[in-house]
Structure 1
């Protein structure tokens, strides 16, 4: 059972994970966060009694053998070059485009390096987290925060990670739909409530049913009906294929960093 965990980097993802962990600590007695983002760190410490703010990154690393790297790729080299880590550390890295080989080069004494891709929804215990390689500590921490999906190779991790880039476009699509409804005389608040509920229900259907997405699309599209028409129009416009092209570009960016 994990009793103490530390976070290097105190941004949005750290805030979400700490919020989720603190809500159901399951044996966790202490969560240590770095002070770089003072406002977020202080807020977490004030809200959750088990959260403590370290003096600096090294202080957090000295206190915790399970250490989460929640830093931007642009500053990863500088931050890691200043840290003294040893074989007792287990590093869970959220550094988006850094593979294990690149991480290991800057942490040569660390025996366990695991890549993860937690999402903001873990704050509500609703988020999927990709894990590579399969690691019992990472799975113990993140499975209760939604779903922990362990993969066998780094290419699989990067492919799934590329899919996380769909989040922004998903909300952008909902915004376009909400504005369309607003133009038809629907109050934006009502449009937002309706669309959020609609897509939440569809996501729940996908989670609880075992059919392929193609089969569900067919089931939810009456022949000659409105859903069939909408899908056909989007396909003719190339809207669905455009998402594949965008994902390919994201994947290439991940692999080439």
Structure 2
């Protein structure tokens, strides 16, 4: 399988980092096109892949083409390659807000798939949602799942839910980083060294998330297990509720969802 990326930004690097160590693909079969030569050299040296300015050398022979460019430059980039891709190539877009219907207009002969991944793919802990187009077969969807679950987990969703995915898991890591930073600040305020506080906070978030995933229990049930009557945890939970932390998180994700919808309309 030959996979070609249009765009060499942070999300492309996260995916490349995830798949480059997999046994089913060789680094020499991964291609990245980016308009910055320095960026290409960096990706080439770090991951031993092919990274070049311009996609002409691989676009006609790629089995999978992953569109990983910014929304504002998406249509220009698509116009540059749409007549060069092989009719059997799978087109995968990770462009926020770009609908399958618009992609299928540009690639009428290709199976088209839309994916919303997130940056923890870079550490094999990503979360990706996959929506399939009208000409996508099960085998095509399986390939997309293989790519994006190689560095985390992937789920199939209806396209109408992609804005919700964008706000929740796409933007979500940024919100969690803010929480980790705030938790470590509290640790420093209580007397801990910064590096120790960051490690304690980050591992606590990681472990808590792992408990939710592996036990299948509702987060509220797990919270109750930690919350002893009259103890320290309920004191902190009370302050969080009083200060509206839960509401702030809901509002932040809702705002991100609405922004994704607005970008799609543009």
Whether TM exceeds 0.5 here: the answer is: yes
1:211 aligns with 2:209: no
CA contact (8 A) 2:40 2:53 kept: no
User: What SS class does the counterpart of residue 141 from structure 1 fall into?
Assistant: helix
Task: Map 1:58-73; keep pairs closer than 5 Å.
Answer: 58-73=56-71
Q: Which residue of 2 aligns with 1:242?
A: 248
User: What SS class does the counterpart of residue 245 from structure 1 fall into?
Assistant: helix
Q: Which residue of 1 aligns with 2:159?
A: 154
- Distance in 2, Cα, partners of 1:67 & 1:177: 40
CA contact (8 A) 1:67 1:89 kept: yes
Task: Map 1:167-178; keep pairs closer than 5 Å.
Answer: 167-178=173-184
Give CA deviations for 1:139-188 in whole Å, capped at 9, x if unaligned: 1222222111111x112232122102221121122212222222333211
Give CA deviations for 1:95-153 in whole Å, capped at 9, x if unaligned: 01212122223x143421111122222222221111112711101222222111111x1
Q: Which residue of 2 aligns with 1:253?
A: 259
User: What SS class does the counterpart of residue 132 from structure 1 fall into?
Assistant: strand
- Tell me the number of residue pairs that the alignment of Structure 1 and Structure 2 aligns: 252
Instruction: State the Cα distance separating 1:64 from its structure 2 match.
Output: 0.7
1:184 aligns with 2:180: no
Instruction: State the Cα distance separating 1:32 from its structure 2 match.
Output: 0.8
User: What SS class does the counterpart of residue 114 from structure 1 fall into?
Assistant: strand
- Distance in 2, Cα, partners of 1:89 & 1:155: 24
CA contact (8 A) 1:90 1:110 kept: no
- The structure showing larger relative contact order (alpha-carbon pairs under 8 Å, at least 6 residues apart) is 2
Structure 2 gaps, min length 5 = 133-137
Q: Pick closer, same or farther for the CA change 1:223–1:200 going to 2, 3 Å.
A: same
Instruction: State the Cα distance separating 1:55 from its structure 2 match.
Output: 4.9
Task: Map 1:16-55; keep pairs closer than 5 Å.
Answer: 16-28=14-26, 30-49=29-48, 51-55=49-53
- Distance in 2, Cα, partners of 1:173 & 1:114: 33
CA contact (8 A) 1:7 1:67 kept: yes
Q: TM-score, normalised by structure 2?
A: 0.87
Q: Is 34-43 or 199-208 further displaced after alignment?
A: 34-43
Instruction: State the Cα distance separating 1:13 from its structure 2 match.
Output: 1.0
Task: Map 1:221-232; keep pairs closer than 5 Å.
Answer: 221-232=227-238
User: What SS class does the counterpart of residue 62 from structure 1 fall into?
Assistant: coil
